[in-house]
Amino acid sequence: MAEQITVVGAGVVGLTCAHELAAAGHRVRVVADQRPAQTVSAVAAAIWEPYDVAPADQALRWSMTSLAAFTALAGDPDTGVVLRSGTVVAHTASPDELWWAEHIPTRPAEVEELPPGAASGTVCTVPVIVMPRYLAWLLNRCEQRGVTFEWRGVDSLDSLDGTGPVVVACGLRSGALTGDDTLVPARGQVVRVANPGLTHWYIDDENPAGLTYVIPRLDDVICGGTNTPGGSNITPDPAVTQEILRRAIAVEPRLDGAQILDTLVGLRPTRPTVALDHIDVGSRPVISCYGHGGAGVTTSWGAAADVADLIAHL
């Protein structure tokens, strides 16, 4: 396509869309008022898990594409991607099978792989991504492919110069640009602590005390978390911080006394289903790619591939 494609947004979804469009031979620019390190993507834990995202069939397809991409990247230390084994915790002896587990190698957890209070669990090895490092790598890869960047706000799609296609991939900001009032925030708070030598992760979405996860990365561990629909306050709540740490230490006692490095809050862009399609906004072709909820990283490569396919068929 001779016309330049504009991607609005520089989080993990926007950057991955820009990367894949440039890889397909298009001229691409990214317009965003937040640099990658300022986006909600930088707050993500981030572990490959199709969490809080629909529709399930498309989310699984996107996630499997991303799984292959992240697994390949795990061999390059510059990417911040590592493969880690861990346990998805369950609170019944015979839990319902994870809806995505049949598509990757898994096994039942041994007793010693379960945290206190867990009845059972599923062990698997998946990518864990150090997001600040990964976003910097992805930005650099985009620049190497000729993607240009304009760091400014976009009040409306009509304010963008040119007539080429636009990809709206700016998280919560996407709703204002497309007139989509189904896109709402879900507040997530995490605590980043120094890693005392952990490599095994735990996810306990069903914890009666609240959403709980312990994700060892390289030098740190992300402890979570919350997923509060409609929450919009990005100031960390000290009481929530202490509750997150209490739950995390109950799962992994070696975290007791770990140095707190940071407390982070991000607003996940959620809607009933991911918006990825042609949309009728203005006089130029517009493609939506937003509303990935808690699975923006997990679905990023697959969703970007679908965006590139839609562009190819304009």
Binding residues for D-dopa: 213, 268, 294
What span, in angstroms and rounded, lies between the C-alpha atoms of 265 and 281? 31
Helical ranges in the chain per DSSP H = 12-23, 56-73, 131-144, 174-178, 238-251, 296-312
What span, in angstroms and rounded, lies between the C-alpha atoms of 35 and 130? 17
What is the SS3 assignment for 236? coil
Known binding-site positions: 154, 213, 268, 293-298
What is the SS3 assignment for 48? coil
* Rounded to 5°, angle at Cα 246 from 243 and 248: 110
What span, in angstroms and rounded, lies between the C-alpha atoms of 27 and 147? 7
Known binding-site positions for FAD: 154, 293-298
Written in H, E and C, the secondary structure of 101-147 is HHHCCEEECCHHHCCCCCCEEEEEEEEEECHHHHHHHHHHHHHHCCC
Structure tokens at 211: 């959403």
What span, in angstroms and rounded, lies between the C-alpha atoms of 222 and 253? 14
CB 268 within 8 Å of CB 293:
yes
